[in-house]
Amino acid sequence: MGDTVRRTAPANLDFVGALLHHLAGVGADLAPRHLGVDARGRQTLSYVAGRVPWRDREDPAFFADPALVRLAELIRRLHDACAGTALAGDAETVCHRDLSPKNTVYRDSPTGPLPVAFLDWDLAGPGRRIEDVAFAGWHWAALGEGADPAELGRRCRLLCDAYDAAAIGPDPVPLARDELVDVMLDQIEGTWRGIDAGADRDEPGMRGLRDAGVLEGVRHWQDWLLTNRRTVAAAVTP
């Protein structure tokens, strides 16, 4: 509506509101602004201009190396902006926890479309830096039958390298990249188990995903990554 977006308020509305407020306050410039709740109880956000790769088959430019490098820099900016704040609590930082192309706004540049902001903060919460990097790693790559594990590893390595290179200040914490594959495996398993549990609870969205075979597809990714874990890990860890 106008230059705002209205969406169903997430369960963690107050946390997300405080997080988006904090990010705007420190000038992180990587998320919509939180404008409050409208008369219908909807979360109200500023509209972020740009393009979102929301379809299954998108322009490969959204997944090219320059986009991956910028993606890692944005994740680093998020994590550095939240580390040591009350929002992170005892955790390393605050994680977005749902970093995927369809939750990312891109804008055109001379090197192609580059990520500029993340949307859909419904799952955000305290966590470890490696969690968002690992999650992005498998969401910006192809997995399963026909995919190349060395290419997944190369892309994850690029993300880790760009994330570490974007550090500012003394004694930056290096990413726990030796844990990346295990974190990805946990996330992939959590994804299909979450679909299964939601479908068992009769949630329409999750039932639809299970009926459409998405659960089986994600399980297959887990098996594939288990089979190929050495190849991926060898590419990620220098």
**By CB under 5 A, residue 43 contacts Mg ion:** no
Total residue count of the chain as it appears in this document: 238
Min. distance of Cβ 102 from Mg ion in angstroms?
Answer: 6
> Is residue 120 a contact residue for Mg ion (CB under 5 A)?
yes
By CB under 6 A, tell whether 45 contacts ligand ATP. yes
Handedness of CA 158, 163, 166, 169 (dihedral sign): negative
Asked if residue 185 binds ligand ATP (CB under 6 A), the reply is no
CA nearest to 119, candidates 187, 57, 45: 45
Q: Which of the stretches 7-15, 47-55, 59-67, 99-107 binds Mg ion when contact is defined by CB under 5 A?
A: 99-107
Q: Is 7 in the site for ligand ATP (CB under 6 A)?
A: yes
CB nearer ligand ATP, residue 123 or residue 147: 123
Residue 44 makes contact with Mg ion by CB under 5 A: no
One of 14, 26, 41, 47 touching ligand ATP (CB under 6 A): 47
Mark residues 93-122: x for contact with ligand ATP by CB under 6 A, - for none: ---------xx---------------xx--
Closest distance of CB 119 from Mg ion, Å = 6
Residues in the interface with Mg ion (CB under 5 A) total 2
Cβ contact 78:92 at 8 Å: no
* Residue 141 binding partner per list Mg ion, ligand ATP, none, with a CB distance cut-off of 5 to 8 Å that depends on partner kind: none
- Binding of residue 6 to ligand ATP (CB under 6 A): no
Q: In the sheet that 4-7 helps form, which strands lie side by side, from edge to edge? A: 4-7, 43-46, 34-37
Please report, for the chain, how many H helices and E strands are present, in that order.
7, 7
Which tokens in the block code for residue 99? Answer: 């970093």
Contact call for residue 48 and ligand ATP (CB under 6 A): yes
Stretch that binds Mg ion, among 40-48, 96-104, 152-160, 181-189 (CB under 5 A): 96-104
CA 16 to each of CA 90, 115, 124, 164: distance values in angstroms, whole numbers, following the listed order? 18, 20, 7, 26
Q: Could you count the other beta carbons within 10 Å of the beta carbon of residue 151?
A: 14
Q: Is residue 122 a contact point for Mg ion (CB under 5 A)?
A: no
User: Does the protein bind ligand ATP through residue 212 (CB under 6 A)?
Assistant: no
Residue closer to ligand ATP by CB (options 119, 136) is 119
- 169-208 exposure pattern, b = at least 16 Cβ within 10 A, e = fewer: eeeeeebbbebbbebbbebbbebbeebbebbeeeeeebee
What's the sign of the alpha-carbon dihedral 166, 168, 171, 172? negative
Question: Which spans of this chain sit near ligand ATP (rule: CB under 6 A)?
Answer: 5, 7, 32, 45, 47-48, 52, 54, 102-103, 119-120
